[in-house]
Amino acid sequence: MFLLYSLLTHIASFALKIVALFSPKIRLFVQGRKNVFEVLAQNISPADKTMWFHAASLGEYEQGLPIMEKMRQLHPNHKIVLTFFSPSGYEIRKNTKTADVVVYLPLDTLANAKKFVALVHPSMAFFIKYEFWPNYLNELKKHNTPTYLISGLFRPNQAFFKWYGGFYREAFKAFNHFFVQYDSSKQLLASIGFTNVTISGDTRYDRVSEILNRDNNLPFIEEFINGKTTVVLGSSWPKDEALILPFINASVDVKFIIAPHTLGEDHINDIKNRLTKSTVLFSEKEGKNLAEYSVLIVNTIGILGKIYSYADVAYVGGGFGTAGLHNILEPAAFGVPIIIGPNHQKFPEAVALVQMGGVIAVKDKTEMEDALSSLIYNDDYRWETGHTAGTFVSMNRGAVNIIMNHISNDADHL
């Protein structure tokens, strides 16, 4: 079965090279993997002690970050190797100071797995949330490398729990321990014979709670807001913007900050051209009286988390498309009431917060405008909704301590 799987992986690799000719994102995916082994050989010597963390993309990186930071503190002489599967994770975090080496994970062929594990020779390995690569897991098992799943999340429709999932179930034997978010995941693993499982919760709650203690000051945001009620659109997609921009144009005495998911010049200009309100771009803010503008378009990355600290209301994008809802926990941590689109069922924190009343899910333009109006102009309702969101985050902290308390014994040999 491993042979067939590796063959299919080789075929997929060839197909991706063809697709890369027409897709910029796939081109990054393919080209970014060309020199991985050279980078590893240049930065890791046989005498180095290492830990390996693997994240599919940016969201999983954020989940693994608290554990990376703790392991860095406890084992400062180890090099941390961080791998990504997706360009959207690697391209944004390739220069992170948390890791010593950041690379794409080569495709999961038998040869790649052998070469990668030999070069990195990790003392411990951590996979975050999901991404189960059988050849890599099998190679870690051969080397008796302590391997852990962090913030795991399982669903009944996954292949592991079907009659044809034996191949993946065999790979699961590489894990010393599974740290999962919910009891449902623990029960699913038990149904296929894995009891080395702890319900730890989601490390993202610890991560976003930490942002409350950092310096979130952005003087230019304060200048722009000028004491007015402020709505932040975080990681918005065109479908989100199509519903919200008419409301912005009709609004009175409200400030809007738009941080689009796509920062291409054409898209930024399209948003600006569809707005009738006075609008300024982040890249053009210098030398301008920002208080005179009604809309600020943030055409840069890396500051959205801080911007949420200034929001009275947040709309988080992705819920009207199929790409996935973006991070609602950052605004929730600041006690900001949140509006999202209807496609959020795969995000347990969103489902829970909608049920609790800390997030409002809308399905069309009318519901969007009603939700925005209610939160903007009803102070009590806005406070109650935001307080519910903030309390939810606070109540779910603690995953990092649970995980670290468990693996500290295994880490003693490092």
Please list the active-site residues: 60
How many angstroms separate the CA atoms of 193 and 404, rounded? 24
For residue 285, the one-letter residue type is K
Structure tokens at 57: 């993309």
DSSP classification of residue 305: H
2-19 vs 134-142: helix crossing angle, rounded to 10 = 130
Residue 116: phi and psi, rounded to 5, are: -65, -50
Phi and psi at residue 392, to the nearest 5°: -60, -45
Q: What are phi and psi of 84, to 5 degrees?
A: -125, 150
DSSP bridge pairs for 360: 339
Coil/strand/helix, residue 403: helix
CA dihedral 60, 63, 67, 72 (to 10 degrees): 60
At 325, which amino acid appears? Answer: L
201: left (phi over 0), alpha (psi -120 to 50) or beta: left
Q: Residue 54 and residue 39: Cα distance in Å, rounded?
A: 16
Residue with tokens 């009709």: 250
69-71-74 Cα angle (round to 5): 115
Closest to 187 measured CA to CA, from 160, 150, 154, 158: 154
Q: Are 260 and 297 in contact (CB under 8 A)?
A: yes
Query: Two tokens at 300?
Result: 């840069």
Helix (H, G, I), strand (E, B) or coil at 280: strand
Question: Could you tell me the two tokens for 407?
Answer: 């693996």
Please state, in angstroms and rounded to a whole number, the distance separating the CA atoms of residues 300 and 92: 11
DSSP 161: G
